[in-house]
Structure 1
Amino acid sequence: MTIATETVQAGRGLCSTPPPIPLIDLKAQYAGLCDDISEALREVADSSTYVLGPQVKEFENAFAAHVGARHCVGVNSGTSALHLALIAAGVGPGDEVITVPMTFIATTWAVNYVGATPVMVDVDPVSYTMDVDQVEAKITSRTRAILPVHLYGQPAALEPLLEIGRRYGIPIIEDAAQAHAARYRGRGAGTLGQSGCFSFYPGKNLGAYGEAGAIVTDDDRIAARLRSLRDHAQSQRYHHDEIGFNYRMDAFQGAILGIKLRYLEGWTEARRRLAATYLERLADLPIQLPTEAPELRHVWHLFVVLHPERDRLRDQLEARGIGAGLHYPVPVHLQKAFAHLGYREGDFPVTERIARECLTLPLFPEMTASQQERVVDALRDVLREDHA
């Protein structure tokens, strides 16, 4: 079906401007799920169990099975998941956690919440994930965890990180907030380290209708402690063994996520097909395209290209009705909130280049071929003007 045909069918006429293409289209996703979602929400309301409860437990079991972990502990956000995972790993005041500055800032919030110091290493210029070759030099007697980020949906190089962790007795905690259904050498992202942390923020590949998150682990002891910590550290009702938190997942989110999890594999394959089309159709343009390592399954939470005049490209795409995003334009080490760490511009050149040049193109499972073609054509037009 051509764009013109679609326009006529929509009743807008051949000369009308086609509708904008959003960066992500949650309304289109909901349109295919509304009946199932409504029924699931009614069941929660009928049960009058609104916090934790059977819907959350069912989702936890299903998500653990999906990623290949023994346990899944649902919480109220991905940030809370990171916080509790660090506590369960024994990280506390005066400790250090090695992580990356190319991430959403919640990764480092969690390190600060436990009183530890984030110690940064740069990212790899091809994968945009933690540069393993820089990690060992940053290990000190105070290092208590290594926290790689599976940025944009691609797992970090976990096996060499795990080998470093084994030699030094340091646990690996995976920030898998953007990596639902990703795989590293056949294993689910989030399941190779001591624990893996997921966000179910609405825009994620598996998104709630509000805030939610989860930690997965194979360690029975850690799972039990996480379940206690999220619920005010209660060993039994009104008996609190340590300082706890109100990080419980609400039942409505558990029910919604349980419905949406059934569709995750199909959505993931749709994302992968769209990404493959972008990689083919944009290969001859003067932009840096993302890559997928052969032993990984990239789930393309975001499709990010690099260009030195990113801001101009974004403005011109948006003028053509193409939604575009920035993930992330200010790296963590240059955020005012972390000025006390003492990092300066130039300390992490790969991260800083990505931050200056990153441009996120629309990609969502419901995206049509004609929508994607419009994005490609618009980007070609904008870049063609550079050489006119």
Structure 2
Amino acid sequence: MKIDFANLQYQYQLYKEEIDEAIHKVLDKSNYIMGEEVNELEKNLENFTDAKNAITCSSGTDALLLAMMALDIQPGDEVITTPFTFIATAETIALLGAKPVFVDIDEKTYNIDPSKIEDKITPKTKAIIPVSLYGQPADIDAIQTIADKHTLKVIVDGAQSFGSTYKDKTDSNLGDISTTSFFPAKPLGCFGDGGAVFTNDETLATKMKQLRVHGQNKRYHHKYIGLGGRMDTIQCAVVNVKLKHYKKDLALRQEVAQKYTDALKDKDIILPFIAYDRTSVFAQYSIRVQDRDEIQAKLKEQGITTAVHYPMPLHLQECFSYLEYKKGEFPTAEKVSDEIMSLPMNPYVSDEEIKFISENLIIS
């Protein structure tokens, strides 16, 4: 048996007729940049999330850039975030000349630990970026309370979590700005790069719309230094189709996660923990094991693809050596990065495949 990790081809075949028709409509009109499908997707995203403003952009990375640029993050500012995430979260802070300031994670949810944030706040701190890792939001109320106390902004990095909820609100409707990614392997993915920013602040929304088109407030008149951050019309057309089916696909993802949990609960591994007041979209189904390399090798022999999200926390990455963090400063993030392992996860993992994975996941 060979088990596909994300099974993107299966999903395409499932919705092929609708997707092909949507793409060909764009081709027939040849309106590849800011075509009508862009506005259509933004309205659909607003309806899905209840956010007042959804603004599509070229990637989840550019979504973070747009958010921080809209909030006027400047060189020398400090932005607090987690060291246990994809590099884009901190990379974008550094690209703007600001300083990423890391805070260790909660060992159960793997998200930033709010109890450790306040100690890292200085007069240079301007924002906090919690990450909804693996599809589950962080403890936003605790984070927002700290932010309000110190007059800080909150940007939710929801690259992995579109459709998740925190206290019955989608995580696209949290913080000052929330971001997401439509990278193909995300729960809601396009056929290339794409992303979006969400905000209930009309002033921020207007600014981000201008920033994504080189800071223009009208054609060839530039109010801000911006970027080429538009999402292609064809990609918006693809996501429009997939969004129609997303609630069903999301329910299937959560069913697959529960079946994994039921199949693995008696093994000597740490399973995903979802807090009682949240839901996860399970962008990954990540477990913690000892002897990870050996286990991955054995699973690979059986045709079972696994992945590690993420093998090295950001404070130990070479590119952030200038921050002068040392090994041991964030022990929970370091421990989890040594043990974490993601199993194949998509809405279409079958009962047979889950049984096969469980039987071959041998813990010595």
Instruction: Tell me if TM exceeds 0.5.
Output: yes
- Tell me which residue corresponds to 2:323: 341
Q: 1 CA distance for matches of 2:172 and 2:84?
A: 19
Whether 1:217 aligns to 2:214 is no
Task: Name the TM-score, length of structure 1 as normaliser.
Answer: 0.93
- Tell me which residue corresponds to 1:3: none
Are the equivalent residues in 2 in contact too, given 1:231–1:245 (CA < 8 A)? Answer: yes
- Give, in angstroms, the shift of residue 190 of structure 1: 2.5
Letter of the structure 2 residue corresponding to residue 22 of structure 1: D
Q: 2 CA distance for matches of 1:371 and 1:286?
A: 20
Q: 2 CA distance for matches of 1:99 and 1:158?
A: 13
Whether 1:181 aligns to 2:163 is yes
Which of the residues 2, 16, 23 maps onto 1:41? 23
- Tell me which residue corresponds to 1:291: 273
- Tell me which residue corresponds to 1:96: 78
- Helix, strand or coil for the counterpart of 2:153? coil
Where in structure 2 are the equivalents of 1:95-114 lying within 5 Å? 95-114=77-96
Deviation readout 1:4-29 (Å, 9 max, x if unpaired): xxxxxxxxxxxxxx3x0021110111
- Tell me which residue corresponds to 1:369: 351
Q: Once superposed, what is the RMSD of the aligned Cα atoms?
A: 0.8
Are the equivalent residues in 1 in contact too, given 2:41–2:236 (CA < 8 A)? Answer: yes
Are the equivalent residues in 1 in contact too, given 2:263–2:354 (CA < 8 A)? Answer: no
- Tell me which residue corresponds to 2:65: 83
Letter of the structure 1 residue corresponding to residue 210 of structure 2: S
- Helix, strand or coil for the counterpart of 2:94? helix
Q: 2 CA distance for matches of 1:230 and 1:176?
A: 19
- Tell me which residue corresponds to 2:252: 270
- Helix, strand or coil for the counterpart of 1:172? strand
Are the equivalent residues in 2 in contact too, given 1:75–1:230 (CA < 8 A)? Answer: yes
Consecutive aligned runs of 4 or more in structure 1 exceeding 4 Å deviation: none
Whether 1:26 aligns to 2:8 is yes
Whether 1:56 aligns to 2:61 is no
Where in structure 2 are the equivalents of 1:67-216 lying within 5 Å? 67-216=49-198
Deviation readout 1:19-57 (Å, 9 max, x if unpaired): x00211101111101110110011101111101221011
Which of the residues 266, 285, 288 maps onto 1:303? 285
Are the equivalent residues in 1 in contact too, given 2:181–2:194 (CA < 8 A)? Answer: yes
Deviation readout 1:321-370 (Å, 9 max, x if unpaired): 11101100011111101000101111111101111111101111011111
- Give, in angstroms, the shift of residue 169 of structure 1: 0.7
Are the equivalent residues in 2 in contact too, given 1:81–1:213 (CA < 8 A)? Answer: yes
Q: 2 CA distance for matches of 1:182 and 1:208?
A: 18
Q: 2 CA distance for matches of 1:247 and 1:192?
A: 22
Q: 2 CA distance for matches of 1:218 and 1:231?
A: 20
- Helix, strand or coil for the counterpart of 2:147? helix
Whether 1:226 aligns to 2:226 is no
Are the equivalent residues in 2 in contact too, given 1:174–1:196 (CA < 8 A)? Answer: yes
Whether 1:313 aligns to 2:272 is no
- Tell me which residue corresponds to 1:12: none
Give % identity.
36
Letter of the structure 1 residue corresponding to residue 220 of structure 2: Y
Are the equivalent residues in 2 in contact too, given 1:305–1:360 (CA < 8 A)? Answer: yes
Letter of the structure 2 residue corresponding to residue 185 of structure 1: K
- Tell me which residue corresponds to 1:11: none
Task: Name the TM-score, length of structure 2 as normaliser.
Answer: 0.99
